[in-house]
Amino acid sequence: MKVLITGAFGNIGRSAIEEIINQGDEVRCFDIKNKKNEKIYKSLKRLYDGKIEVYWGDITDKDKIKEALKGIDVVVHLAFIIPKLSSTGIESEKAPDISYKINVEGTKNLVSAMQELSSPKKIIFTSSVHIYGLTQHLEPPLTVETPPSPIEHYSQHKIKCEEIIKNSGLDYCIYRLSASFPINLKLDMEMFEISLKNRMEYVHTRDVGLAIAKGVRSDKIWGKILLIGGGPRCHYYYGEMVEKILEGMGIGMLPEEAFSNKPFPTDWMDTRESQELLDYQRRTIEDYVEDLKKALGYKIFFIKLFSPVIRYVLLRKSPYYKRRYIPIKELFKVYRKGLKLN
C-alpha cells in the first residue's frame, strides 16, 4: 500500500511516516520545499530509503496535487496552518486570509483532485479538539455528538474542511485530535494564556501516528468521526502537565499567579470508539517528558544549573505576573538559592 501524506514534515506527519513504514507500507510526502523540510526528509530517507519519497509542492496548486496522487491508495491530509509553530512561518490567527487559502481552499483542491481521478478514494483528515470551543463549563468528556463552537480562525477552518470532506463522496475518516506537543517545545508567553485548572487531554505524537497507520489499513473507520486522545490516564489539568514538563526539564514549576484564569479550547474526550477500532493508546505525558529529556541531552545539566535565571526570564514573559521586574541584587540571591536547592 502507498500512502500520500500532505504536510508530512510537521509534528504529526513525522510520527505517521514512521508508523506507516514500520507496518510495511510506503509513504509519499507532499510538503512545501524549504531548508527545514529538506533536512527532515534527508534524515528520514537515510532511515527508510526505498520506502519513502517526496513530491515538493503547495496544497493550493491543484496540478501538483494531481501529480502527487498518482499511484496512491490512501491520503492522509495533515497540511494546515496552525496558530503557532507552523513550518510555513505563518500563524492562522495573525494571517487569517492566507491561512484560509491554504487550509480551506487547499483542502478543496485536494478533494477536487481526488474526485477527478479514479484513485485514491480514501482520505483521513486530522481535525482538532479546538472545534468544540470553550467547554470547561460543560460536564466532561466531549463526544462526537458535542456541538462544535469554534472561537478562532484555525478551528473555524477545521470545521469548514470537515464539511468539505464529509460532502465529497469520498471514503473519509475524520480524526479530532487532542493536545499533542512537539519534541522541540518552545516556552514562550503563550504558555501563560491558559488557566492551570483547564481540563486538557494529552496524546503522544507517536500514538497519533500509530492511529493513522492503523487507520489506512482499516476497513471499519470509513464514514466516521473519531476522537483521538490518550484516554482516561491522559486526562490532566493544564497545571499538572506544565508542572511535569517544567520539572522534567529541570526548571521547576512557576507560580500560579503567572498564569491566566481564562479557559482554553481543550477538554477531556471520550475516545473509547477510536481505541476499540485502532488500539493506539500506548503513552502518557511521562513518556513525552522522557523524550524531551533525551532530546535535550547534556543541555539538561545547564538548564538545572541556570534554572533560577531561566525562571526569571520566563516570568518576565508572563503578562500576569506582578513581580515582572526583579532587581539585579535580588536576582543574584535567587540564583544562589537556586544553586543550593538544585
pLDDT in tens, 117-156: 999 999 999 999 999 999 999 999 999 999 999 999 999 9
> What mean pLDDT is predicted for residues 32-55?
96
As a whole number of angstroms, the distance between CA 146 and CA 97 comes to: 28
pLDDT, one tens digit per residue, over 199-210 is 999 999 999 999
Q: Is the distance from CB of 176 to CB of 148 less than 8 angstroms?
A: no
Residue 2's pLDDT is 98
Using CA atoms, how far residue 13 sits from 102, 276, 281, in Å, is 17, 23, 17
Whether 173 has a pLDDT exceeding 80, the answer reads yes
N residues, the chain = 342
Q: What percent of the chain stands above pLDDT 90?
A: 85
Strands (E), 7-135: 26-31, 52-56, 74-77, 122-128
pLDDT at residue 86 is higher than 70: no
- Look at residue 322 in the predicted model and tell me its pLDDT: 72
- Answer whether residue 80 shows pLDDT above 60: yes
The CATH code of the domain at 2-186+201-235+265-284 is 3.40.50.720
Q: Give the mean model confidence (pLDDT) for residues 190-199.
A: 95
- Is residue 123 exposed (0-12), middle (13-18) or buried (19+ Cβ within 10 Å)? buried
Q: Is 123 left (phi over 0), alpha (psi -120 to 50) or beta?
A: beta
pLDDT of residue 252: 95
Work out the pLDDT band at 1, boundaries 50, 70, 90.
very high
Predicted confidence band of residue 186 (pLDDT cuts 50, 70, 90): confident
Handedness of CA 106, 112, 114, 117 (dihedral sign): negative
pTM of the model: 0.92
pLDDT of 336 > 90? The answer is: no
CA 83, 163, 143, 18 dihedral sign is: negative
pLDDT confidence band for 189 (50 / 70 / 90): confident
pLDDT of 85 above 70: no
In a 13 Å sphere around the CA of 84, the CA atoms on its Cβ side amount to: 11
pLDDT digits (tens, 9 = 90+) for 240-260: 999 999 999 999 999 999 999
* Residue whose grid cell is 473507520: 221
Mean pLDDT estimate for the chain: 92
Backbone angles phi, psi at 129, to 5 degrees: -60, -20
How far are the Cα atoms of 47, 205, 208 from residue 20, in angstroms, in the given order? 13, 13, 11
**Residue whose C-alpha is closest to residue 244's, from 212, 207, 284, 272:** 284
At residue 342, does pLDDT exceed 50?
A: no
Whole-angstrom CA distances from 278 to 74, 92, 223, 338 are 17, 31, 15, 46
CA 221, 225, 228, 234 dihedral sign is: negative
- What are the two backbone dihedrals, phi and then psi, of residue 169, each rounded to the nearest 5 degrees? 85, 0
**Average pLDDT for 4-33:** 97
Using pLDDT thresholds of 50, 70 and 90, give the confidence band for residue 47.
Answer: very high
Report residue 183's pLDDT band, with 50, 70 and 90 as the boundaries.
confident
pLDDT at 225 over 70: yes
How far from 68 is each of 9, 19, 29, 36, 92, CA to CA, in Å? 16, 21, 9, 21, 26
pLDDT (0 to 100) of residue 333: 54
